[in-house]
Amino acid sequence: MKRRSVYIVIFIVAILGLFFIQYKYLKIGVSLATVQFKKNIDVASKNIKNDLADENQLTFLVGKAITNDDTNFKLSIDSIQDASKYFLKDFISYRLKLNGIDTDFSYRLIAKDSSFSLKSPNQFNTSENLLTFPIQLKGYLPETAGKDTLLELQFKNINSYLLSQLNGLTIPSLLFMLIIIIIFIWFLRSIYWQRQVITTTNSFINNLTHELKTPVFSINLASKMLEKDLDTTKKPLLKIIRQQTERLNKHIDKVLELGKLEFQPKLFNLKKTDFKPNLIEICQNFETLSNLNNITFTYNLEEGSFLIKSEINHLENAISNILDNAQKYSENPIIKLNASKHKNQLLISISDNGVGINKKDKDLIFKKYYRVSNEDVHKVKGYGLGLSYVKEVVKKHKGKVKIDSNVGVGTIVTIFIPLIHEK
């Protein structure tokens, strides 16, 4: 749960960082585009200036308009001025487009002493944030008017124009970020949902196993009471009942232990212990069992104490589980237990000469309920809980489990538990 929050925080920070970088890039992009825009205006201005310097159809008409001269025309001076306004606008627009500027603009053609002005048909509100580029005209027009003449180009909302030019980049990048966020949220939701399912399944299994305990206990008790009055011919039947209930009981305990580990982690109390005597006891018990069941079992424990922080019962169970597996998955078991100290760690390794585990299954067998799907193996009963229990217990001891295995040769399971420094 905690780790999940950390991931979420990291994700949010990463996304915010990405937004910030994006914003910075955008700013750089806009200022570069501004520089480019001004450069283009510069070139366009020069071209406009040159084109308006000579006498041609346009300058002739504009010249008439600014000097209020309607000779040579059948039109009124107002119509001449109107026509020249549109004519000039089209010409400027054409020149700007040639230089890569395709945005709304207006213009004013004015005398420096304000004695005349020809304004573009569209005019911007002066309260708007306008960008003005004055062009000092030369040649035909100032000469005709007999005055210094300026052509002022005006642009508004230049930033939104520049942004619109960058839209090709910003919109897709925002879109991709949005996709990432949506997928992340979807991912979190499905993890959360999955966790809920797992938790309910686990608590269901735990409740169920608890419920199973009572009938098993009753069967056990009843069979004990039956034993006294039963005639000898039926005793083997009773023995089967007792053996099977005992097995069932063990399975139930296994499930419950694992459940306890997962749901009540605080119950796990590590205490400073010399684990050697416990290990010897496990080995001696298993040796006795081995003698009865045709198993060759040897063990070798390094000299000295094995001082570790341990919850003894769980660690004992874990080792018993590994020994149990070694015997279960071997035909004529030769099992060795070896315990040694190496680099501040206690190493307990259990080897067998059994069927082995292939590479594909090696990581999976630590998962709860996982069993290798192999016809041979399924002759052996189990619920796939043993190794997940081992892993959980060893993890709680701040240790590790390692499996080396060769199919058909055997398996070595090693657990590493940190040793306490002896002073």
Q: What angle do CA 17, 22, 28 make, to 5 degrees?
A: 130
Q: Is 377 in the site for ligand ADP (CB under 6 A)?
A: yes
Q: Is 386 in the site for ligand ADP (CB under 6 A)?
A: yes
Q: Which amino acid is at 5?
A: S
What residues between 234 and 273 interact with ligand ADP by CB under 6 A?
Answer: none
Q: Write b or e for each residue in 263-288: b if 16 or more Cβ atoms lie within 10 A of its Cβ, otherwise e.
A: eeeeeeeeeebebbebbeebbeebee
Compute the least distance from the CB of residue 411 to ligand ADP, in Å: 4
Number of residues forming the site for ligand ADP (CB under 6 A) = 21
What's the CA gap between 387 and 278, in Å, rounded? 20
Q: Which of 69, 57, 77, 76 is nearest to 140 (CA)?
A: 57
Compute the least distance from the CB of residue 377 to ligand ADP, in Å: 5
Residue with tokens 């109390």: 269
Q: Which amino acid is at 160?
A: S
- Return the number of the residue (264 or 373) whose C-beta is nearest ligand ADP: 373
Quick one: how far is CA 314 from the chain centroid? 35
Q: Is 25 in the site for ligand ADP (CB under 6 A)?
A: no
Q: Which of 11, 53, 383, 404 binds ligand ADP (CB under 6 A)?
A: 383
Q: Is 297 in the site for ligand ADP (CB under 6 A)?
A: no
Backbone angles phi, psi at 146, to 5 degrees: 70, 25
- Return the number of the residue (286 or 329) whose C-beta is nearest ligand ADP: 329
- Return the number of the residue (2 or 250) whose C-beta is nearest ligand ADP: 250
- Return the number of the residue (270 or 407) whose C-beta is nearest ligand ADP: 407
Q: What angle do CA 320, 321, 324 make, to 5 degrees?
A: 85
What's the CA gap between 22 and 178, in Å, rounded? 13
Q: Which stretch binds ligand ADP (CB under 6 A): 82-90, 257-265, 296-304, 349-357?
A: 349-357
- Return the number of the residue (371 or 397) whose C-beta is nearest ligand ADP: 371
Q: Is 387 in the site for ligand ADP (CB under 6 A)?
A: yes
Q: Are 295 and 335 in contact (CB under 8 A)?
A: yes
Residue with tokens 């230089």: 99
Question: DSSP letter string over 189-219?
Answer: HHHHHHHHHHHHHHHHHHHHHHHHHHHHHHH
Q: Which of 357, 367, 342, 371 is nearest to 403 (CA)?
A: 357
- The residues with which 117 forms a beta bridge, in sequence order, are 110
Q: Is 283 in the site for ligand ADP (CB under 6 A)?
A: no
Residue nearest to ligand ADP (CB): 382
Q: Is 333 in the site for ligand ADP (CB under 6 A)?
A: no
Compute the least distance from the CB of residue 402 to ligand ADP, in Å: 13
- Return the number of the residue (385 or 417) whose C-beta is nearest ligand ADP: 385
Binding mask 352-371 for ligand ADP (x = CB under 6 A): x-xxxx-------x----xx
Q: Which stretch binds ligand ADP (CB under 6 A): 89-97, 116-124, 158-166, 384-392?
A: 384-392
Query: DSSP 3-state assignment of 416?
Result: strand
Positive or negative, the Cα torsion across 346, 351, 355, 358? positive
Q: Are 259 and 206 in contact (CB under 8 A)?
A: yes
Q: Is 325 in the site for ligand ADP (CB under 6 A)?
A: yes
- What size, in residues, is the chain? 423
Q: Which stretch binds ligand ADP (CB under 6 A): 101-109, 206-214, 279-287, 383-391?
A: 383-391
Q: Is 205 in the site for ligand ADP (CB under 6 A)?
A: no
Compute the least distance from the CB of residue 252 to ligand ADP, in Å: 14
Q: Are 226 and 173 in contact (CB under 8 A)?
A: no
Q: Which of 29, 139, 384, 418 binds ligand ADP (CB under 6 A)?
A: 384
- Return the number of the residue (211 or 376) whose C-beta is nearest ligand ADP: 376
Compute the least distance from the CB of residue 246 to ligand ADP, in Å: 17
Residues that bind ligand ADP (CB under 6 A): 325-326, 329, 352, 354-357, 365, 370-372, 377, 382-388, 411
